[in-house]
């Protein structure tokens, strides 16, 4: 698959204030450029003590601006011209002192002046704090952060972990990949703003004995992509995940389960409070009636153990059967091995849901791309093969158009 250019056409100003986290800003600049953005770097005098403008220029292909009197700007007004061209101004790292300047409206050098002079309706301000844990937790810093957010800035982080001073706690700047994804998320249409969304993802594991079980090849990638896309679209997302090894998408609340029974319990506990339920998980239809308490051993006879199976509860149908007023808008997934559309039509009617998203399971399990067919009352519509996150965003946009009919 070709690399996604999620920031294609975006022009960003990346501001660096003083702090050891400046070393991460180099990688952040690289990631933003790789995502398709043009990046103009502005550095404070203190930032230049930690990383050189030459490094940032090499990574962005643009001369770095450090002086408000830079004669290259028309009429020597860099603080005006730089922000008028930008879609967003990202300050990473934002030191405690720099955040204090923002809160107080001070502008002692170019970067703070640029933040103050930016057109607030056209150039967003994204702030990534980076400082010692004691500095971050200090009441003055917390007051300043609250003021900066109240004034319209978006706070990115901070993270928690080991700090350059040798201490551990809150105050680390988020990692470059996390900041890149946060910038990408900022520009996604907020078609689910304020909605509560529940997503299931991955396989389930039905134990035969303490070490063996029945599962399937689902990787969970599609469900995790949908959870991320829904969060990017402004939703409050809960993700119920089977046994997979995938990082939790930013701003998503994750519940880990193992079996179909556990997934059913986790889903039904929160489903009535949701606006939208997207059942992406590949849930086992059956489970052993009783799992052995010890490992089942071969006895040399050649006889294969017989297992009595029992049917698992139908999670999607259970949610779709909730009373009116407690029933979210339900979207099911159908991973089929043949006759994909026919089986999806039948599944939609059997489950009693308005929308089924169908795909060919063997062609998508474990892969990074997929192709989907949407099946609803109006018929079928295809979503051509693409990477799973791009498909997830397109699917979320499709679902958002149907949501006025939720809670039927």
Among the listed residues 62, 58, 30, 64, the one whose alpha carbon sits nearest the alpha carbon of residue 45 = 64
Pairing of strands 286-288, 309-311: antiparallel
Of 22, 48, 123, 165, catalytic: 165
- The alpha carbon of residue 284 and the mean position of all alpha carbons in its chain are separated, in whole angstroms, by 27
Place of tokens 């599609």: 222
Find out whether 395 and 384 touch, Cβ atoms under 8 Å.
no
- The alpha carbon of residue 113 and the mean position of all alpha carbons in its chain are separated, in whole angstroms, by 32
H or E stretch covering 206: strand 206-207
Separate counts of helices (H) and strands (E) for the chain = 14, 19
Q: Look up residue 94 and give its two tokens.
A: 């934002």
Active-site residue flag, 330: no
Find out whether 37 and 186 touch, Cβ atoms under 8 Å.
no
Sign of CA dihedral 239, 244, 249, 253: positive
- The alpha carbon of residue 268 and the mean position of all alpha carbons in its chain are separated, in whole angstroms, by 24
- Compute the distance between CA of residue 280 and CA of residue 357 in angstroms, rounded to an integer: 9
Break the chain down into helix, strand, coil percent, rounded to 5. 35, 25, 40
H or E stretch covering 261: helix 260-270
Q: Look up residue 108 and give its two tokens.
A: 């002692």
Pairing of strands 213-214, 154-155: unpaired
User: Which residues are catalytically annotated?
Assistant: 165
């Amino acid at each position: 698959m070709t690399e996604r250019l999620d920031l294609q056409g975006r022009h960003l100003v990346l501001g660096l204030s003083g702090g050891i986290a400046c070393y991460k800003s180099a990688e952040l600049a690289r990631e933003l450029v790789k995502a398709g953005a043009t990046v103009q770097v502005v550095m404070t005098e203190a930032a230049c003590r930690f990383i050189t403008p030459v490094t940032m220029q090499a990574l962005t292909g643009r001369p770095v601006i450090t002086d408000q009197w830079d004669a290259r700007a028309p009429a020597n007004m860099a603080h005006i011209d730089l922000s008028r061209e930008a879609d967003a101004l990202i300050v990473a790292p934002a030191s405690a002192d720099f955040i204090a300047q923002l809160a107080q409206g001070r502008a002692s050098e170019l970067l703070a002046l640029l933040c103050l002079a930016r057109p607030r309706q056209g150039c967003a301000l994204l702030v990534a704090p980076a400082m010692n844990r004691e500095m971050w937790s200090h009441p003055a810093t917390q007051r300043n952060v609250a003021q900066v957010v109240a004034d319209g800035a978006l706070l990115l982080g901070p993270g928690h972990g080991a700090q350059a001073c040798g201490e551990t706690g809150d105050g680390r700047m988020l990692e470059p990949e996390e900041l890149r994804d946060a910038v990408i998320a900022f520009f996604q249409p907020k078609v689910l703003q304020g909605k509560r969304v529940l997503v299931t993802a991955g396989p389930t594991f039905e134990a035969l004995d303490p070490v063996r079980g029945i599962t399937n090849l689902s990787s969970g990638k599609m469900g995790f992509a949908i959870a991320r896309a829904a969060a990017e679209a402004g939703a409050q997302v809960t993700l119920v995940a089977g046994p997979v090894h995938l990082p939790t998408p930013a701003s998503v609340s994750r519940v880990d389960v193992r079996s179909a029974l556990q997934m059913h319990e986790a889903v039904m506990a929160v489903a009535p409070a949701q606006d939208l339920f997207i059942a992406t998980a590949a849930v086992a239809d059956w489970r052993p009636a009783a799992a052995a308490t010890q490992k089942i051993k071969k006895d040399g006879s050649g006889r294969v153990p017989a297992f009595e199976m029992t049917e698992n509860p139908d999670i999607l149908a259970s949610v779709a059967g909730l009373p009116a007023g407690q029933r979210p808008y339900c979207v099911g997934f159908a991973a089929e091995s043949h006759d994909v559309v026919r089986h999806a039509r039948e599944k939609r009617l059997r489950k009693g849901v308005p929308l089924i998203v169908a795909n060919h399971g063997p062609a998508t399990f474990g892969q990074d791309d997929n192709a989907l067919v949407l099946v609803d009352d109006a018929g079928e519509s295809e979503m051509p093969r693409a990477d799973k996150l791009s498909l997830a965003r397109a699917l979320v946009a499709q679902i958002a158009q149907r949501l006025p009919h939720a809670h039927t």
